[in-house]
Structure 1
């Protein structure tokens, strides 16, 4: 009665299907194409068959828990997929609360299965070297694509969306601000995952690889008697670089190279992990690594690569332990005290041995 007096009428007869249709119509424009497609698929395949005809006023927490258990035990879905399903249901019902259709969100107290974060095992330097060599020999342009993936840690769709105008040779930088994603009916170009562009530095070797790619693109354009535009895609099969490679195609090419070398457990995305772990292992600050990878913040990098950061922290502890236990060993010795001076850096003598 109090809710009714305040204009909050929770007596709706809307079903969960009606709610999900209204919610997606409102939320769709704010979702990326891939996320929207994923939501639609999960609703169609796993959520609506069980909840579609149920009135949202009759959905209970116990019903949702029973649905989650069935999806795991009977349909064989992974805990990660079920948690995605739970997120969709929770967001839809939260919108129903905002609209005043129901008083409380039953999904707020539901218990989806826990997800154990898998321990990352990125390829080592030797494996990456073999992958690059194989790709450069059998598909040279894709070899250059893999080189860029390994040195920048960029996502596959981000590399597919890379344009010539994004490369600043004079500043030795690369700007990543877009990504190619596959949707029903073709490809679309969208913002990056965190909706922000990032500029990262490039080493001389990677600049040389990009110069080789530019030379090949120009030769192809000249042969077709077309002009190579600066807005053209770096990785394209078209003479004018007007159509980018698709992420699915790069994955298939990578799988072919991987299988030929016997690296069945290595994924294209693992080159991103390779770049991150090597940078962290070399002592590069986490914030710098986070910026190069395009994470929303350094906390994301901490969460994903906690295992490697712990290993680095142990090395730091060993260094400090040695300094405290052997303070004399850390002091530079002068010639007057019997020390030997070595080569100089910026005019300052350095200790040898």
Structure 2
């Protein structure tokens, strides 16, 4: 990458181990499996993420995983060392995340509410192990796999150590949605509290809008189709184009649907 000569190195405690290490390095050179650059994994992640074509929301989540979990553990490790060690460091990292997201290894310490100088209060409590969600561990694997695949494509490494790694298994989903009777009670209670709140809850039930986003626009066309526009925000700024979904209301000829039509027309004129 820089035109400089690359020197492979290893360490050993005994002469016999040194001979084995020498033979292993010679084998890497002979088979052309040694890394062709001395850059670290952290540098590779920055280069890969800057040119990776994804939505800004996905980029933000990748950046959070990189800075919060991957970089503190393996960011300073050279690619050459990771290639020599194979998939073991990554599988071990995944196992540690599944045990504790802070990788405490059983140590006891106080989790402070802020890294800045402060006076401790009830928010500064003893550490309690909280595993990283399996979906987040799998996303870490996807980030690392994508970055190392790019390094192989760019000629920085010859072998991707994650090709032989096993990623965490996703547990079987266990959805527990409310029954139709429970959903009706929720909607009716919301309608009784406030007409606009009831409209929002009822519309969410029939359209399946994601509550983690912001259903920020409702429009009707010919009283038979409802459009919802969702805007994803981060730090009070839009990071993803609004997604528009349309849902047919045909067959939902209920007083609620008629009330929705009247409410939208009234709301649109205000």
Q: TM-score range by the shorter chain?
A: 0.5 to 0.7
Name whichever structure is richer in helix by fraction. Answer: 1
CA distance in 1, matches of 2:61, 2:201: 27
Aligned length, in residue pairs:
207
Instruction: Report what 1:173 is aligned to.
Output: 225
CA distance in 1, matches of 2:266, 2:258: 13
- How far off its partner does 1:72 sit? 1.3
- How far off its partner does 1:19 sit? 0.8
**1:149–1:159 Cα contact (<8 Å) kept:** no
**2:62–2:143 Cα contact (<8 Å) kept:** yes
**1:157–1:180 Cα contact (<8 Å) kept:** no
CA distance in 1, matches of 2:139, 2:214: 27
Answering whether residue 175 of structure 2 is matched by residue 120 of structure 1, we say yes
- How far off its partner does 1:9 sit? 9.5
Answering whether residue 248 of structure 2 is matched by residue 201 of structure 1, we say yes
Instruction: Report what 1:109 is aligned to.
Output: 164
Q: Tell me, what secondary structure is at the counterpart of 1:156?
A: coil
CA RMSD, 1 decimal: 3.0
Answering whether residue 74 of structure 2 is matched by residue 74 of structure 1, we say no
Answering whether residue 235 of structure 2 is matched by residue 184 of structure 1, we say yes
Q: Pick which of 36-45 and 147-156 moved more.
A: 147-156
- How far off its partner does 1:77 sit? 1.2
Instruction: Report what 1:12 is aligned to.
Output: 37
Structure 1 gaps of 5+ residues are 222-353
- How far off its partner does 1:189 sit? 5.0
Structure 2 gaps of 5+ residues are 1-28, 102-130
**Higher relative contact order (CA closer than 8 Å, sequence separation 6+):** 2
- How far off its partner does 1:67 sit? 0.8
**1:9–1:101 Cα contact (<8 Å) kept:** no
CA distance in 2, matches of 1:36, 1:140: 38
Instruction: Report what 2:79 is aligned to.
Output: 56
- How far off its partner does 1:162 sit? 3.1
CA distance in 2, matches of 1:187, 1:213: 28
- How far off its partner does 1:17 sit? 1.0
**1:175–1:198 Cα contact (<8 Å) kept:** yes
Q: Tell me, what secondary structure is at the counterpart of 1:127?
A: helix
**2:57–2:240 Cα contact (<8 Å) kept:** no
Closer, same or farther: CA 17–208 of 1 in aligned 2, 3 Å: same
CA distance in 2, matches of 1:92, 1:189: 23
CA distance in 2, matches of 1:12, 1:209: 66
Closer, same or farther: CA 147–180 of 1 in aligned 2, 3 Å: same
Q: Which of 206, 212, 217 is the equivalent residue of 2:267?
A: 217
Q: Tell me, what secondary structure is at the counterpart of 1:107?
A: helix
Residues 4-58 of structure 1 deviation map (CA, whole Å, 9 limit, x = unaligned): 9xxx99411111111111111111xx32232222111111111001111011222
